[in-house]
Chain A
Amino acid sequence: MNKLSLFGLLGLVIRRDLMLAMRRRADVLTTLIFFVMVVSLFPLGVGPEMDMLRKMAAGVVWVAALLASMLSLGRMFSADYLDGTLEQMLLAPQSLSVLVLGKILAHWMLSGLPLMLMAPVLGLQFDMSVQALWVLVVSLLLGTPILSMIGAVGAALTLGLRGGGVLVSLLVLPLCIPVLIFGTGAVEAVTSGMDITSHLSLLGALLVLAFAFTPWVTALALRISME
């Protein structure tokens, strides 16, 4: 029997969440299929006007990604809360923030990462240029982890509440507006031939800020929810 290090624990939490998700694939697929459906409905609804589609592409993909990531937030802590695993996590002899970070990373791998990989395929429906597709993927790579992190705070605060699912969207969506603005802004900048570094740097800064604070805030919120 060996003592588990901090990174060992982080790895354990991520592996555990991924393993659980693989045994319950429907949950992961729901998020992805929702994203694909919403984005694909726009070209059908708007009609084949290439100019308009090209203009709205980034916004549509980003809004759909935002809504899709809301879908899986409710499950982030609730299963562990109901079966008592969360109690044991609070009693882990390591910082709770690290465990929470593990759960956030696992959540991103299961919701943000598939969306990011799917985005270029969906972007083709909007006749986006290759360059714009690249920028879209990079902006999603920087932005979707922020959505998972802010979402974790909301999920922890609404844990065990009735109607928590609606409440968490109301709490989290307004906080995600900056991510949406800079994410779509980067794609618009590249299509109109402007510099994209400012948008992407701001997204990166938001990511660093969220990375530094949200695990800690989530851990505090979880302790309050457990009282």
Chain B
Amino acid sequence: MLEINNLACTRGDHQLFSGLSFSLFAGELLQVQGENGKGKTSLLRTLCGFITPAAGEIRWRGQDIRELDEEYYAEMVYLGHLNAIKDELNALENLRISAGLAGCEVSDKEAIAALRHMGLRGRETLPVKVLSQGQRRRVALARLLVGNAPLWILDEPLTALDVGAVGLMQELIGTHLAKSGMVIFTTHQPLEVAGVEMRRLTLT
């Protein structure tokens, strides 16, 4: 369970948000809303531990994430604006390396299955630089399929995706929640997951 108490974040002299409190339980889906520049990305990056909060605390299973450190990172996946994939490598190599950095060794077979599930059949061994933006995003999203971390933090996961891929993401989030996972995400596109009530947090 993720618990946020009285969280505040400042960038430079500007205060983005303060007094933010919420908790997220297994099987819950939380959408962070707000206009551009209201601190959605900063909130997600604070939850990843990249940004030190100006005040407040973030607890995972009752312990501060700063103390948990590596144990917390083993249980979360972050997908940011940047895809974290290398142009020089192919989709398969990219997926195996990013899964490796997240601490799990994935066999070729598992990686290919994940890429095919993301609709990249026949593109597995092409250098990523010849793929389109949407296909690159799909390579990055395939990482969600090969890990088993319960907490997903997704920053604009739907950028550059077509309708089919958005449907795929909805399905993916649905299955993850059914396995008592947790998802926090931001998006400016409509995203509905069947059978799950979406919680919304609006930053003002």
Contact = CB atoms under 8 A, between A and B. Distances in A.
Interface in B35-92: 48-52, 70-71, 73-74, 76, 78, 80-89
B58 to A, nearest CB: 14
A83 B73 contact: no
A1 B105 contact: yes
Contacts, number: 92
Interface SS majority for chain A: helix
A24 B127 CA distance: 13
Contacts of B110: 1
Interface size for chain B: under 10, 10 to 19, 20 to 34, or 35 or more residues?
A: 35 or more
Contacts of A1: 104-107, 110, 146, 148
Interface string B100-133: 1111111100100000000000000000000000
Interface residues of A, number: 30
Contact of A83 (B52, B71, B74, B82): B82
Interface in A123-138: none
Contacts of B100: 4, 8-9, 12
Contacts of A82: 82
Nearest to A227: B51
B88 A9 contact: no
Given A84-B80, A93-B70, A227-B50, A8 B105 contact: yes
A197 interface: no
A93 B86 contact: no
Nearest to A21: B88
A221 B170 CA distance: 38
B105 A85 contact: no
B97 interface: yes
Contacts of B31: none
Contacts of B51: 227
A3 interface: yes
Contact of A88 (B84, B87, B93, B104): B84
B18 interface: no
Nearest to A95: B70
A92 interface: yes
B102 A88 contact: yes
Contacts of A210: none
Interface in A51-102: 79, 82-85, 87-95, 99
Contact of B78 (A3, A8, A91): A91
Contacts of B187: none
Contacts of B106: 1
Given A23-B88, A91-B76, A84 B102 contact: no
A91 B82 CA distance: 14
A84 B48 CA distance: 14
Q: Which of A82, A85, A89 has the most CB of B within 10 A?
A: A85
B100 to A, nearest CB: 4
A82 to B, nearest CB: 8
Interface in A1-58: 1-4, 8-9, 12-13, 16, 19-20, 23-24
Contacts of B33: none
B78 A87 contact: yes
B83 A84 contact: yes
A146 B165 CA distance: 48
Given A4-B104, A88-B98, A93-B71, 10 more contacts: A1-B106, A1-B146, A2-B105, A82-B82, A83-B83, A84-B80, A84-B84, A93-B73, A94-B70, A95-B70
6 A-B pairs with least C-beta separation:
A84-B82, A93-B74, A84-B84, A23-B88, A93-B103, A2-B105
Interface of B: 48-52, 70-71, 73-74, 76, 78, 80-89, 93, 97-98, 100-107, 110, 146, 148
